[in-house]
């Protein structure tokens, strides 16, 4: 009898970690990918995603522009089983432009715009299997150019993800925006598509490769940007992530490269 009770006790102890893991709250950061997902933050939970440093360099024939953002924060708030609200804001931005002909340097410091969004999932809010949804958003002109857009904007994001296996995930993010014109006189149409392939190296480490093509129909500067990106995320425990992203421009209109570091935490 004692032997049987001992075996039962050992079985319960062995099962405890699995039960605890199953009860862990959902944690699915957007970071550090270029694209998005349809995964929803659970009701009553708040997820903060923060960029420590976001540096981008854009070289042209006559100038070099370096943009550094810091404290780029996204708060994701679970409202329901398939719905979350999002609030995003760039706490600080620094833009340095050097004229290659004269050597003159111009710098601008400031804050970015505020983004308000609502994500609605239509299948698998935990992001597993085939998961998709819709995310309408508006941007409020809190910042000033070139860090902010200078006027309000709006758009919609459509994220779709599919698990090809236990370790491989295929993702597509489509976006259509009404973006403020560069001259501040009205808005124009812009749209993009991002395809990504993620691989789970282990329970803690994930890598993602992506290709992005974006079209901007600004009346003063119509152009198309093609970018390749690679990212790495480390989750030392559930509810905490550290990550980094690197991109390279694939055509003349795209920024030359970008490097982002940051992380996410669940409350």
For each of the domains in the chain, give its residue range(s) and CATH number, in order of start: 2-266 (2.40.160.40)
Measured CA to CA in angstroms, residue 41 lies from 76, 108, 118, 159 at distances of 7, 36, 12, 15
Beta-strand runs (E) in the chain = 46-59, 63-80, 83-99, 105-110, 114-123, 130-140, 153-163, 168-180, 187-200, 205-216, 223-237, 240-249, 257-266
* Average pLDDT over the chain, rounded to an integer: 90
How many Cβ atoms from other residues are within 10 Å of residue 133's Cβ?
25
- Enter the pTM of the model: 0.87
Lowest mean pLDDT among 31-35, 87-91, 143-147, 175-179: 143-147
Q: Tens digit of pLDDT for each residue in 192-201?
A: 999 999 999 9
Q: Tens digit of pLDDT for each residue in 203-220?
A: 999 999 999 999 999 999
Q: Is 37 exposed, middle or buried (0-12, 13-18, 19+ CB in 10 A)?
A: buried
Q: Tens digit of pLDDT for each residue in 141-162?
A: 998 888 888 899 999 999 999 9
Measured CA to CA in angstroms, residue 138 lies from 54, 73, 88, 113 at distances of 22, 16, 10, 10
């Amino acid at each position: 009898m004692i032997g049987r009770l001992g075996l039962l006790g050992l079985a319960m102890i062995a099962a405890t970690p699995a039960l605890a893991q199953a009860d862990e709250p959902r944690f699915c950061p957007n970071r550090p990918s270029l694209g998005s997902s349809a995964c929803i933050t659970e009701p009553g939970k708040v997820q903060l995603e923060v960029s420590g440093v976001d540096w981008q360099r854009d070289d042209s024939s006559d100038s070099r522009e370096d943009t550094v953002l810091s404290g780029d924060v996204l708060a994701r708030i679970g409202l329901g089983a398939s719905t979350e609200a999002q609030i995003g804001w760039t706490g600080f931005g620094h833009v340095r432009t050097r004229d290659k002909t004269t050597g003159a340097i111009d710098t601008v410091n400031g804050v970015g715009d505020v983004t308000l969004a609502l994500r609605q999932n239509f299948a698998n809010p935990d992001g597993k299997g085939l998961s998709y949804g819709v995310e309408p958003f508006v941007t409020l002109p809190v910042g000033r150019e070139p860090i902010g857009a200078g006027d309000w904007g709006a758009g919609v994001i459509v994220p779709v993800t599919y698990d090809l296996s236990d370790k491989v995930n295929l993702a597509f993010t489509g976006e259509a925006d009404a973006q403020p014109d560069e001259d501040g006189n009205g808005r124009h149409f812009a749209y993009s598509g991002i395809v990504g392939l993620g691989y789970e190296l282990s329970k803690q480490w994930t890598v993602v490769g992506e290709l992005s093509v974006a079209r901007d129909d600004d009346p003063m500067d119509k152009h198309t940007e093609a970018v390749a990106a690679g990212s790495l995320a480390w989750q030392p425990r559930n509810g905490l992530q550290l990550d980094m992203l690197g991109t390279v421009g694939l055509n003349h209109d795209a920024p030359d490269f970008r490097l982002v570091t940051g992380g996410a935490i669940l409350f």
